[in-house]
A and B are shown apart, each in its own frame.
Chain A
Amino acid sequence: MRSIASLLFAGGLAFLLLALGAQLALGDPAMRVGAEYLRIAGPELGAANIVTAILAGYRGLDTLGELSILFAAATAAGLVLGRRRADAPRDPPGGLILRAGADLLFPLLVVVGIYIVAHGHLTPGGGFQGGVILAAAFFVAVLADPSRTLNHAAISWIEGLAGASFILIGIWALVEDGHFLAPLLGTGTMGQLLSAGTLPLLSVAIGLKVGSELAGLMADISDTEARDQ
């Protein structure tokens, strides 16, 4: 009975959404805000990747809010999970193939993560994407061998410094330009690594913040004993 009701509900939901979507002309006419961003973002910020230009430039304050949401989630998860007892047993390490594969993958993931963070203003990518890849590098290492633990203090320091530098760049712009997180340092030549003013710096700050946040979350979850005994 419950299954039939749920099936009917999901079917009705899908039908409703499909019927709504059939009325819409996708992408036509183009949204004015998006078209305006496409027109001015290149000359104004000097960033080839307009998504990053909007994320760190025009909507930098939203990104700061987003970082604080992620921080709140990580803090809450740490609070809920609580502290590990010193003598609690750990899971045994994975097999040889898993551990060797993790060791092989770790430097590659770190390099790809750094590349994606540093080139966020030129190619697809940016702080969030690269930060997640950096965190994944540490996930792989810890999951393959749970006896290797992440240094909580170091992670917290990186996280705090990255968050503080993001805000400091914003305040610097406030002093120089009169607007919080306004782009500084000129635009440079589009397509160069050192261009787009403070955008790459903000990208690096976001990448470090997201990466250390997620790595800390992972460390919290993997450090938890599954049961109290």
Chain B
Amino acid sequence: MIELDAVINLETLVYVGAIGLVAIGALGLALSNHLFRMLLALGIAESGANLLLILSGYRPDATAPIIGYGPVGASMVDPLPQVLVLTAIVIGVGVQAMAVAMLVRVFRVYGTLDVRELRKRMELEVSTAAGMPVPTSEQAPAGERPLPPVPAYRPSYGPIQPRES
């Protein structure tokens, strides 16, 4: 149906690679539990998106958009996606720097970057501040209660200390 020559060439490889990077980044965002790894996955997805954008300016048998670089009269690739990607990269750097600063802050307060651990600690913190028991699944049974209600869970330890390690 489709000839192999028409499918496998340089731009197809770059295209598949760019989409692969986006997929790897999405997978990393979904699978990892560590905030810094999620940030790295975001960076990978971002580079995949940038590669896709650059590829959209590709033209067969064209040179870089610099006058006097290629042979005279040669066509050039579209310069506009390159400018936009330059912008995107710089903004990506800004976003990542901002995110790293916030991660440093989170690590200073909680001593961990593990999402599950952070969620537990934050829930505990919110409940302690509000003077409420930590919500557990036992407190919200579906339908009517077959058993007498269990006593509310009170954390026996005091306010949260930053974990030392």
Contacts and interface: CB of A to CB of B under 8 A. Distances in A.
Interface residues of B, number: 52
B82 A81 contact: no
Interface stretch (B99-107, B130-138, B143-151, B152-160): B99-107
B79 A51 contact: yes
B59 A51 contact: no
Nearest to B87: A66
A50 B27 contact: no
A76 B27 CA distance: 29
Contact of B101 (A41, A54, A81, A124): A81
Given A28-B59, A80-B105, A190-B67, A227 B94 contact: no
Contacts of B91: 66, 69-70
A69 to B, nearest CB: 6
B57 A27 contact: yes
A11 B20 CA distance: 9
A77 B101 CA distance: 5
B151 to A, nearest CB: 32
Given A13-B22, A51-B83, A26 B16 contact: no
Contacts of B98: 73, 76-77, 80
B56 to A, nearest CB: 7
Given A6-B31, A28-B59, A30-B78, A217 B97 contact: yes
A191 B59 CA distance: 25
B60 interface: yes
A54 B27 contact: no
Interface of B: 11, 15-16, 19-20, 22-24, 26-27, 30-31, 55-60, 62, 64-69, 76-83, 86-87, 89-91, 93-95, 97-98, 100-102, 104-105, 107-108, 111, 162
Given A6-B27, A14-B19, A37-B80, 13 more contacts: A6-B31, A7-B27, A14-B20, A14-B22, A14-B23, A27-B56, A30-B59, A50-B76, A55-B86, A220-B101, A221-B104, A226-B107, A227-B107
